[in-house]
Amino acid sequence: MAGRFEALPGGGAAVALDEVEISILRSLAVQLLELIGPGDEPAADADPLAALFSEGPGEPPSDPALRRLFPDAYGDDTEELREAASDFRRYTENDLRARKREDALVVVRALDSLPAGAEEGGGVLKLAPDESRAWLGTLNDLRLTIAARLEIADDEESERLYRLPDSDPRKPMVMAYLWLGMLQESLVETLMPS
């Protein structure tokens, strides 16, 4: 099980993580939370009905990683499609940000729930089915974010990462990207019906 998710009876998944893996995953999830930010959400004391119909941003984010996490729904080939994409973003992005935040918080809380001393030697993390799906979303978001930072747009660019020399300053980020991909793939396999 070391480093790979395995299915649990009755649904869910488990993975053995060492202290370094726990630390890296927690740090990346917290950084993702900071990147996603609160968005243009209404104040906590706002009228619930008004909050339900609040509008988000109409323009794509300027940060390439956020653009990857919150892409336009339609191409921008015509003015009509740009307007449709803007409208779609305005009415969906706040909810999407909230879901991504909730998923990342599930990851942080699961890592924090490992028994005391787990960070010193690692531990086995057991996830319920809903937690597994949240983890899958966050692992995907982390990979998309790192891909944007590494300027990976297609498989060909991804392949060149395997050949980076150890002296390349991007190497640690590349290793995290590849490791997250392996975790994500093993989690997908556990969630697939047999």
According to the 3-state scheme, what is the secondary structure of the chain? CECCCEECCCCCEEEEECHHHHHHHHHHHHHHHHHHCCCCCCCCCCCHHHHHCCCCCCCCCCCHHHHHHCCCCCCCCCHHHHHHHHHHHHHHHHHHHHHHHHHHHHHHHHHHCCCCCHHHHCEEEEECHHHHHHHHHHHHHHHHHHHHHCCCCCHHHHHHHHHCCCCCCCHHHHHHHHHHHHHHHHHHHHHCCC
| pLDDT for res 1 | 43
| pLDDT for res 147 | 93
The Cα–Cα gap between 39 and 69 comes to 13
| pLDDT for res 68 | 92
| pLDDT for res 64 | 93
Q: Specify if 87 maps to a domain.
A: no
Q: Specify if 71 maps to a domain.
A: no
| pLDDT for res 194 | 65
Going by C-beta distance under 8 Å and a sequence separation of 6 or more, which residues neighbour residue 171? Answer: 164, 165
| pLDDT for res 3 | 76
Q: At what angle do helices 129-149 and 171-191 cross, to 10 degrees?
A: 150
Q: Specify if 108 maps to a domain.
A: yes
Phi, psi of 85 (to 5 degrees): -65, -40
Domain that holds residue 174: 6-38+97-191
Q: Specify if 69 maps to a domain.
A: no
pLDDT-flagged residues of the chain (< 70): 1-2, 39-54, 76, 116-121, 194
The Cα–Cα gap between 74 and 70 comes to 12
Nearest of 57, 8, 15 to residue 183 by alpha carbon: 15
Q: Specify if 110 maps to a domain.
A: yes
Q: Specify if 114 maps to a domain.
A: yes
Q: What burial class does residue 79 get, using C-beta atoms within 10 Å of its C-beta: 0-12 exposed, 13-18 middle, 19+ buried? A: exposed
| pLDDT for res 185 | 95
Q: Specify if 45 maps to a domain.
A: no
- Domains: count for the chain: 1
Strand-pair category, 13-17 with 6-7 = antiparallel
**Spatial contact of 138 and 32, defined as CB atoms under 8 Å apart:** yes
Q: Specify if 84 maps to a domain.
A: no
